[in-house]
Every structure is written in C-alpha cells, then in structure tokens.
C-alpha cells in the first residue's frame, strides 16, 4: 500500500517539474539554461529510479550506482556557473 503512495508522489514530482518548466518558459519568457537542464534531469531521473526500484526492476546496487552518478553529475558543474572571478576571455 505504501509503495503505491510513493510511486504516485514520484510521478507527481515529475508532473510538477514539467509544469514549472512550461510556466517558466512560456509565461515568464525565460530561456532554458544549463541550470534548468540540470534541474529537469534530476526531477525526472530520481523519481524514475525510485519507481523502478520499487517495482523490482532495479536492484539495490544499481540504484546506488545510478544515484551516485547523478550526484556526481550535478555537483561537478557547480563551479562552472557560480564563479564570479572566472575569466571569460
């Protein structure tokens, strides 16, 4: 019973992320940058991994490896966008 609630919550997170992206793009007329792509990637991949693990398609080792790869991907790009002293020449 709890599994269904978690899966519905994960699907809701993906839907809310998609709606937020559409609102940001259409209503606020903002472009899609690297941060938005990273957020969208996380908002879709993590719930998908959780749903697949609850369904038994992915085992524990695979889930751990995928979550570690995602964390590395997200955290590796932080310094590229937040460094005010970076020389753009």
Total structural domains in the chain?
1
Per-residue model confidence as pLDDT tens digits over 16-70: 999 999 998 888 888 888 788 888 888 999 999 999 999 999 999 999 999 999 8
Q: Alpha-carbon distance 49 to 28, whole Å?
A: 31
C-alpha of 76 from chain center: 14
Does any domain span residue 89? no
Is 73 part of any domain? yes
Report d(CA 54, CA 9) in Å as an integer: 13
pLDDT of residue 28: 84
Residue 4 pLDDT greater than 70, yes or no: yes
Distance between CA 10 and CA 17 in Å, rounded? 11
26 assigned to some structural domain: yes
Q: Which pLDDT value is given to residue 87?
A: 60
Full residue range of the structural domain in which residue 11 is found:
2-79
Average pLDDT for residues 67-75, to the nearest whole number? 87
pLDDT score of 30: 83
Whether 87 is covered by a domain: the verdict is no
Say whether pLDDT at 79 is over 60. yes
CA neighbor of 80 nearest in space, from 33, 44, 32: 33
């Amino acid at each position: 019973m709890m599994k269904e609630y978690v899966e519905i919550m994960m699907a809701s997170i993906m839907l809310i992320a998609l709606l937020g992206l559409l609102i940001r793009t259409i209503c606020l007329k903002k472009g899609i940058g690297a941060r938005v792509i990273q957020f969208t990637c996380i908002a879709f991949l993590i719930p998908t991994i959780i749903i697949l693990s609850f369904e038994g398609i992915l085992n524990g080792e695979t889930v751990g490896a995928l979550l570690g790869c995602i964390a590395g991907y997200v955290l590796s790009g932080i310094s590229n966008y937040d460094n005010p002293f970076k020389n753009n020449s």
